[in-house]
Chain A
């Protein structure tokens, strides 16, 4: 009896092992993975392009990692898994080059401008950007190390606003989330974020924001093992289809 059980369990194990073997072997020969590290303001557009790319490349799985450009730059510099780096400003991409996170040249593929996002209900009854200086208004920006934060800091200065934000969030989607949930009266985000947020968020223009728009840059990482796929993804982005998705979302031409 005991022997039967042992034989039985050995059989099950052997089956399990062979199953593992075949699926593992199959996947490595067929499925390839392309990992894209992208600034969080690219969440919606890159998720769109991910689907397009996967349809065009059978057997390729694209993994998107959205975070603050600064965090992603650090990851690329430390050779974390990732084949493509897309940042929301030039400074961060230059830093990636300095830190040897990317080896080749980066290309600019879009621009974006800042607006003041407010909850659709507008609890603070804001009518202009300067209104954020009023007492009792909680407005948010990104941390200055993130592109959305440095852009916000520059615009506050240009507009002569010395009133400090209530909080500096780690990336632009965190700012937007607090506007959507009504936990803040206003927040400085990109025009594309407001478009993506839909009806829950409206916006007010920020004076001088189009004077020096944020530029978006993309490059293959130094550690990539998918050089060909990376170039194809970048080509898709720069082509008619990619640029169409970007302009529909509110991004400007490079």
Chain B
């Protein structure tokens, strides 16, 4: 384990030249949104630590996970690890679930260093800013919201950590988007059926692996904390919240504690969303914040999202791909890897060996009937087992030299679609497209082709050059 919390991870990024500090004072608008947009535009997008924001006391960090280099460092891998290698590393770590957390006392929990229980003013602690120009307000876009199942308060596995968009609507009032398929909506429904407030803790400035898992669609009764431990290779440290009997990360920067007001819905949004367009205004839930605990000199971590790729795409990338890979692999062992990184799996590339003619299409149809693929996936490309699905030039090579459009492109009209995909029409319906770019095998027939071979000793020289680039030679 190379880091224990956000601060230690930022130090690691700085050592690896993956963090930029801005020391001069910047304006909240338009600078902070612009920084969040600019950083992932760079090939090796750094985290950006903004030390001073005009009018605010505390600092801000953006783009913590906004490059494959930072993503690799998060997984304790060398920063030049390829995406495919990161995918397989994540697959191996997934097997270690669960690694149970440990609970520490208050004196060992930095998040308890400061406590505010009256005169709450979020602007005192958080340097809030407008992320995209026509957002309806200032949003907390990278807070992990902790809540419990009111019917099973002692079932740790059902305690949820999820990242939901949060709009600041007052000094102590925020709105939250809980979509019906989100786990928190299950907790909320049970609370609202008995007209009870739902206690929540909004955790900000977390271990990056917790934010990664809080963005991952795992099962209802699987614990994000136990998964975080598995990916870290060590338990995450938790402490009890001040009220509401919630478990919160002991080493996070800031925890906002409050209650979702039962049976209340007020206008929220619009907000620039992950498909790269605004989602409209809706009537959504509100949370009254009654307690803040925070580390001394807390760091506000927030996330910019825009037309892909921005930081959010790294939080919807391998964690979308991996569950799909595992579901396919069960029945189609020839599948080598799945890249579902494009707009949360709306676009997917599968690499597989073909057992028989038409196999690529069969694998694609299975993907389109998985729980995630059914509504989300629209364009499925299937490539041979020796094509790296994370290497788009290779995928384009397969498309240009393997696809026979009259046989290999299939459209399935009027199938389930993802409502946030602006091309879904009506919202929630979509035509699916399969492009089979695998080489035909019997009983299918294709022209005889002899592929070029990789020269002997290429692996040796690849390793040599990589180490030379890392200055190990």
Q: Do A and B come from one complex?
A: no
